[in-house]
Amino acid sequence: MSGRMTALVTGANGELGHALIARLVEEGSRDVIAIDLREPDASIASKCAQVIVGDVTQRTTFEQVNPSARVDSVFHLAALLSTASEKNPERAQSVNVDGLIQALTFAMAHSARVDRRVKVLFPSSIAAYGVASLEAKSALGAANETQASEPTTMYGLNKRYGEQLGCYFSERYRQLSTEANPPGVDFRSIRYPGIISAFTLPTGGTSDYLPEYLHAAAQGKPYACFVRGDTRVPFMAMPDAVRALLMLEKAAPETLTQRVYNVTACNPTPVEFSKLLQKALPPAALSFDVSAARQRIVDSWPEQLDDQAARKDWGWAPTMGLDEMVNEYLLPNVVARYAR
Ligand SMILES: NC(=O)c1ccc[n+]([C@@H]2O[C@H](COP(=O)([O-])OP(=O)(O)OC[C@H]3O[C@@H](n4cnc5c(N)ncnc54)[C@H](O)[C@@H]3O)[C@@H](O)[C@H]2O)c1
């Protein structure tokens, strides 16, 4: 292990992990240590200074981090996503909450070793919102970070609590302790919309319908969508999701007016998305096999996010709206993938 700083990435073998690690390696300024429950792909493992196959709910997993590593940021991506969390709420609580506590505890202890605050980057989600009805959703429009913050799902509850837990660790941890505290944790969180990658397929999320449809259409297969055609929630392309996380990580602390920020790019309905796919990849056949339970979940999410705070505080703006995302990023890459 070199004397350079290190980025620790949990959930490294997931969709966001793949894209983030590729970007960190491209930047080249830090070593990367990966943690995942599953043995990471060779494409990830070959890029990392250390790979730990372990469960983030266990302290012993973090204890395996090379003792000479100097971690400046923990990207805590390991999670059970929304549909998977509804199916197994106990496991969701364990991975999404206990896992975060272990990541924060590691960062807190490690800050003493590196003698500086250690950043913890936490991807939260649009699931942290809870809108009571379709009428309320329509009246709300683009939600800022303080509106409609009563989530209705296990995943949303876990994410909302995770945001608050991170703020607690950053600002009030052991406030009554008489012992000297370590330099501490600098927690920063992004509330993501649904993320669409041209290179990986999602599993276990409730916004998976657009990426599933895209990958089906690229293989010439019909797709049966599990939500209604007029369902409107926000989305963004994976490269912008990674860019946002790294922009927030690098922002000077004095520019941040909050610890949890919305980001967004576009909010197509399945029918609007199908028009773009059908033009480029006919037939891109779309039908509907609506799951009442999953529909209820997306209906409780706002139709758009207000990301003014991120724009103002750290200069956020997406590089891709809907047309660029589909025509310049998703289609060329997904077509090339299935042509091989
Ligand atoms: N993909 C999206 O649309 C989206 C949207 C909003 C927020 N997020 C958040 O972004 C983060 C990354 O999401 P993703 O899309 O890459 O998810 P993913 O399901 O593709 O990846 C999650 C990874 O975490 C790992 N993992 C699960 N439980 C673990 C455990 N106990 N210990 C160690 N590793 C464990 C899995 O093996 C997997 O590789 C998550 O926190 C997710 O909640 C994702």
Domain residue limits at 86: 79-195+236-265+303-319
Asked whether 25 and 88 are in contact (CB, 8 A), the reply is: no
Based on the residue annotation, tell me whether 155 is a catalytic residue of this protein: yes
Q: How far away, in angstroms, is 135 Cα from ligand 1 center?
A: 31
Q: What is the pLDDT of residue 164?
A: 98
Q: Which residue has the tokens 């070959």?
A: 46
> Which residues are CB-contacts of 223 (< 8 A; sequence separation ≥ 6)?
212, 213, 216, 217, 284, 285, 286, 287
Count of alpha carbons within 13 angstroms of residue 206, beta-carbon side:
33
Report pTM: 0.97
At residue 48, the pLDDT reads 97
The total domain count for the chain is 1
pLDDT (0 to 100) of residue 22 = 97
Given ligand 1 and candidates 8, 10, 15, 264, which is best to mutate, with the most ligand atoms within 8 Å of its CB?
A: 15
CATH of the domain at 118: 3.40.50.720
Q: Tell me which residue has tokens 């004397």.
A: 3
Ligand 1 centroid – CA 35 distance (Å): 12
Question: Ligand 1 atom 10: the closest Cα is on which residue?
Answer: 123
User: Residue 33 contacts by C-beta under 8 Å, 6 or more apart in sequence?
Assistant: 6, 7, 8, 9, 48, 49, 50, 51, 52, 65, 66, 69, 71
In this prediction, residue 204 carries a pLDDT of 86
Which residue stretches of the chain have pLDDT < 70? 1-3
- Phi, then psi, of 330 in degrees rounded to 5: -70, -55
Q: Is residue 338, in this structure, part of any structural domain at all? A: no
Residue whose CB lies within 8 A of the most ligand 1 atoms, among 10, 16, 189, for a mutation test? 16
Residue in 155, 192, 213, 329 annotated catalytic: 155
What atom in ligand 1 is closest to the CA of residue 12? 39
From the alpha carbon of 55, which atom of ligand 1 is closest? 32
CA of 180 to the centre of ligand 1 (A): 35
List the structure tokens of 24: 């960190």
Q: Before 283, cis peptide (omega within 30)? A: yes
Within a domain: residue 154? yes
Classify residue 297: in a domain, yes or no. Answer: no
pLDDT value, residue 239: 98
Atom of ligand 1 nearest to the CA of 96: 41
pLDDT at site 203: 87
The answer to whether residue 212 sits within a structural domain is no
- State the pLDDT at residue 174: 83
Strand partners, 10: 35, 76
What torsion, rounded to 10 degrees, do the Cα atoms 55, 57, 63, 65 define?
50
Q: What's the first-to-final CA gap in the chain, in angstroms? A: 37
Contact, 265 vs 193, CB < 8 A?
yes
Give the three-state DSSP class for 329.
helix
Half-sphere exposure of 290 (CA within 13 A, CB side): 12
Sign of CA dihedral 250, 251, 252, 256: negative
Query: Which atom of ligand 1 sits closest to the CA of residue 17?
Result: 16
Any domain includes 129: yes
Has residue 181 been placed in a domain? yes
**Maximum separation of any 2 CA atoms in the chain, in Å:** 68
Residue 139 lies in a domain: yes
Residues 6+ apart with CB under 8 A from 256: 188, 313, 314
Supply the pLDDT for residue 246: 98
Please tell me the distance from the alpha carbon of residue 237 to that of residue 252, in angstroms, as a whole number.
25
Asked if residue 213 belongs to a domain, the reply is no
pLDDT of residue 181: 84
> Which residues fall within 8 angstroms of residue 178, CB to CB, at 6 or more apart?
none
